[in-house]
Amino acid sequence: MKTQVAIIGGGPSGLLLSQLLYKRGIDSIVLERKTKDYVLSRIRAGVLEKGLMALLEEAGVADRMHAEGFPHDGTLISYGNEMFHVDFAKHTGTKVMVYGQTEITRDLYDAREAADGKIEFEVENVVIHGADTDKVHLTYAVHGEERRIDCDFVAGCDGFHGVSRQTIPLDVRREYEKVYPFGWLGVLSETPPVNDELIYANSERGFALCSMRNANLSRYYIQCSLSDSPDDWTDEAFWEELKRRIPADQAEKLVTGPTIEKSIAPLRSFVTEPMRWGRLFLCGDAAHIVPPTGAKGLNTAASDVHYLYHGLCEHYENGSDAGLDAYSEKALARVWKAERFSWWFSSLMHRYPDQTTFDHRMQVAELEFLRSNDAAQKAMAENYVGLPY
């Protein structure tokens, strides 16, 4: 087979890139290791920056997001029983959208299928050949059948454990990582959210987050030990601990019920440089990971897609490689700013094992400064709704 752009990874970033390229008449093939049903079963965050919303609109897949998503003007931050509002609309003139990543992926699959887009599932043993030459191609297997794709470029949207980053030689890439000494225990419950906006809570017992998927589906998280297992936490124990970590007036309103999904996610920050090697371009988790505190994971992947999509359009439409040549530098400049925000917000809201009483008081002082200072709130709002591409 031949194509212009081979995309490894059938998650939201790979599908979005494929759909955007299709809209400009650029051919692509998407390779996905799992089945479509498996990809759609993954539960992920869903706070969308303005840039991602604009990309979905450009891709022609934003109708359901606008009809079913929940625009949020701001967010709530609590410490102890104190709580204050950071108004995104006031400080930036922009809102964020709460719309599940699974729903974005579903919309993109529907669009690619409607356009007869080429997607291969249950792909194994992907190898990228000649990425640093002008004869790049992929080999892989589907149900034991060996296949090959010749292409102009490869987009590695295959996540942290995928083949794309590992294809870049060790003497070329440099990796930066911070592992956080705790995880997030998250549950999904068919209950109404405790508040119309997200609540980020700093408590003496650790961090908590009250989030939502829709009017009758809520997502809640609490900071936990990395040694914990989801089986260690009964539903009752989770709800009681969550109530201890959020303000009393919110805890009184909390509607509890059976959880339909429960998992623990470790937190880490990770960046690899460069994000390009020859004709191979890394996107999303293949190149960088952020802690979920600032809701930047999917949004930083989207900014990568933006830069790569425009670079590919320039190449095919204008014969210019300026955008592709600048891809890694531009993407990394924005990635590191997102990493900074996620690191700052994580440091502000979590309790660390080695924190002293002084450190705790500094957190409170920082929170009180954020509460009372418009400039600090504006800076946070600008980062949360998304820095410009």
Looking up tokens 């946070």, which residue turns up? 380
Torsion region of 307: left, alpha or beta (phi above 0 gives left; psi -120 to 50 gives alpha): alpha
276 within 8 A of 153, measured Cβ to Cβ:
no
pLDDT digits (tens, 9 = 90+) for 133-154: 999 999 999 999 999 999 999 9
* Same fold: 5-70+98-177+268-345 with 180-266+354-385: no
Q: What is the mean pLDDT of residues 100-111?
A: 96
- Distance, CA of 274 to CA of 272 (rounded, Å): 6
Question: Tell me, what amino acid is at 129?
Answer: H
Catalytic residue positions? 72, 200, 292, 296, 384
Whether the pLDDT of residue 46 is over 90: the answer is: no
**β-bridge mates for residue 147, sequence order:** 140
The domain segmentation of the chain, as residue ranges, is 5-70+98-177+268-345, 180-266+354-385
pLDDT of residue 380: 98
Q: What is the CATH number of domain 180-266+354-385?
A: 3.30.9.10
- Distance, CA of 303 to CA of 33 (rounded, Å): 23
- Distance, CA of 102 to CA of 324 (rounded, Å): 29
127 closest CA partner among 114, 117, 135, 137: 137
Band of the pLDDT at 84, cuts 50, 70, 90?
Answer: very high
Q: What are 94's two structure tokens? A: 């922009």
Q: pTM here?
A: 0.96
Q: Where are the beta strands (DSSP E) in 215-349?
A: 217-224, 259-273, 276-277, 280-282, 288-289
- Distance, CA of 335 to CA of 348 (rounded, Å): 20
Does domain 5-70+98-177+268-345 sit in CATH 3.40.50.1000?
Answer: no
pLDDT digits (tens, 9 = 90+) for 275-322: 999 999 999 999 999 999 989 999 999 999 999 999 999 999 999 999
256 closest CA partner among 276, 226, 236, 272: 236
pLDDT of residue 213: 83
pLDDT of residue 302: 98
Strand-pair category, 199-202 with 74-79: parallel
198 within 8 A of 76, measured Cβ to Cβ:
yes
Three-state DSSP at 352 gives: coil
Alpha-helical regions (H) of 183-287: 235-245, 248-253
Question: Tell me, what amino acid is at 64?
Answer: R
- Distance, CA of 172 to CA of 187 (rounded, Å): 40
